[in-house]
């Protein structure tokens, strides 16, 4: 996953008497988003054939391309055509740590990409203990190297501990977020998926 990509997660409760109409409406929205620069793909899932709670994810290459889609007149017009179909909606943006592991889910999913539509099973997130091990495997060596690298720096060890921890976290957080954890999760992908 690109460190700049933004994923939007939406939970919609739809009118249970208008499932077919809502399905067509959602697909039209996906098709419209697919024409915008930076669109990386989307997927939506229902817990069952009669479920009226739907979950959708869509991803754009970066904040600018996402905002261009979200602020577009075309999207506003599409949303207006769904008036009455959606009873409630919650959405959030995902980037950073929550993007390292997918949220737990079960069922099947329909995915729309530039190449077309495909259906398949949703991959479950790894157990929390595997996520913790993955983070530790990245954090421990990086923290150890940084500690060794800073020990000969004159005056660093004499600083108050809170200032040393502040400096350490300011330096290591971006390193972990953009390089180390994405590399660790790619290296451990098979083990995490098992």
pLDDT tens for each residue of the chain, 194 residues long: 445 778 888 888 888 888 889 889 988 998 999 999 999 888 888 777 778 888 888 888 888 999 999 999 999 999 999 888 888 888 877 664 555 454 444 444 444 444 444 444 444 567 888 888 988 999 999 999 999 999 999 999 999 999 999 999 899 988 888 888 888 888 888 888 77
- 47, 114, 135 from 44: Cα distances, Å: 10, 16, 29
CATH for 6-121 is 3.30.70.100
The residues, any chain, with a CB within 8 Å of residue 18's CB and separated by 6 or more, are 84, 85
Delimit the domains of the chain by residue range.
Answer: 6-121, 128-193
């Amino acid at each position: 996953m690109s460190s700049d990509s933004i994923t939007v997660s939406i939970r919609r409760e739809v009118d249970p008497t208008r499932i077919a109409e809502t399905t067509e409406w959602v697909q039209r929205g996906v098709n419209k988003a697919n024409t915008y620069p930076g669109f990386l793909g989307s997927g939506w899932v229902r817990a069952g054939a009669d479920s009226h709670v739907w979950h959708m994810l869509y991803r754009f290459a970066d904040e600018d391309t996402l905002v261009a889609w979200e602020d577009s007149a075309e999207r506003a017009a599409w949303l207006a055509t769904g008036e009455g179909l959606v009873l409630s909606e919650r959405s959030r943006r995902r980037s950073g740590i929550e993007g390292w592991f997918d949220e737990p889910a079960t069922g099947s999913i329909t995915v729309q990409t530039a190449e077309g539509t495909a259906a398949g099973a949703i991959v479950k997130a790894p157990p929390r203990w595997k996520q913790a091990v993955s983070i530790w495997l990245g954090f421990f060596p990086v923290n150890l190297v940084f500690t060794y690298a800073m020990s000969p720096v004159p005056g660093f060890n004499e600083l108050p501990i809170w200032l040393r921890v502040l400096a350490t976290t300011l330096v290591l957080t971006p390193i972990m977020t953009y390089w180390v954890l994405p590399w660790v999760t790619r290296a451990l992908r098979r083990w995490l998926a098992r």
